[in-house]
Homo-oligomer: A and B are copies of this chain.
Amino acid sequence: MTVTKVGVLGARGKVGTAICDAVRAADDMELVAEIDQGDALQSLVDSGAEVVVDFTHPDVVMPNLEFCVANGIHAVVGTTGFTEDRLDTLRGWLEASPGTGVLIAPNFAIGAILMMRFAVQAAKYFPSAEIIELHHPNKADAPSGTAHRTAAMMGQARADAGLGPSPDATSTGLDGARGADVDGVRVHSVRVTGLVAHQEVLLGTQGETLTIRHDSLDRTSFAPGVLLGVRQIANAPGLTVGLDSFMDL
């Protein structure tokens, strides 16, 4: 088995700590550098890191990536704030360093990625589609970003397939009972103490329904997806956006 040398940026934050734990537990990886604010990036080179994981901050991620790409170190990035401008800059750096790969992903939870993928693939085969997302009551937005995105993609798939609106004979009722309408897909947001983060996509046709449900029960659910990224990035030179590009779907 080849062992990949991995460096972690943002290693002392909550997320970074979980990533360091996951790298240490993986048989095919060695954790060679744990870097946080105030540490020199040069230790990535000195320790021979082949892949870097960056869950830091929009303010520092660009210099981090400039350094890594310049030194031929691949990067798996969960930091947010990537505008089209930033992606273009990154592409420029990567052109100058052929063979180096960078993965930028907004979501590393494999279960959530698969839920969205399957929901979109299935959408065109069912006249009815609704989403129920369930979260703890401290959440500020309703629907959740994931539910909104899922609904929009499903609505697009339905439109592309020429499906009309979902059947709905509701003629009397209370405001809000039928949820929010996102591109023709109804979304219901449940907020209940004790819940963490859950989403259910419900599809129906004559005599049968298909339900795709994702439950996130713990804040470390990004870790297996990060390891998946680390294992694939060396074979994907240039810029990749979205972990699903590395999944065989």
Residues of A within 8 A of B (CB): 22, 109-112, 114-115, 118, 121-122, 124-130, 132, 134, 137-143, 166-182, 186-196, 202-221, 223-224, 228, 247-249
Contacts and interface: CB of A to CB of B under 8 A. Distances in A.
A121 B247 CA distance: 10
A19 to B, nearest CB: 12
B205 A194 contact: yes
9 contacts: A112-B208, A132-B188, A143-B173, A167-B191, A168-B191, A174-B180, A192-B209, A208-B216, A208-B218
A194 B177 contact: no
Given A114-B122, A170-B139, A193 B213 contact: no
Contacts of A111: 126, 203, 205, 208-210
Nearest to A166: B137
A182 B176 CA distance: 11
A204 B195 contact: yes
B140 A171 contact: yes
Given A168-B191, A180-B175, A207 B213 contact: no
Given A173-B180, A174-B182, A211-B215, 5 more contacts: A110-B125, A188-B190, A194-B208, A205-B224, A209-B214
A192 B140 contact: no
Contacts of A191: 128, 130, 166-170, 178, 186
Contacts of A124: 248
B127 A193 contact: yes
Contacts of A174: 142-143, 180-182, 187
B208 A217 contact: yes
A212 B111 CA distance: 11
Nearest to A122: B114
Contacts of A134: 202
Nearest to A179: B176
The 8 tightest CB contacts between A and B, nearest first, are A207-B218, A207-B221, A174-B180, A194-B204, A142-B173, A192-B204, A208-B221, A177-B180
B168 A137 contact: yes
Given A168-B191, A205-B221, A125 B114 contact: yes
A114 B204 CA distance: 12
A10 to B, nearest CB: 19
Given A141-B170, A166-B191, A178 B178 contact: no
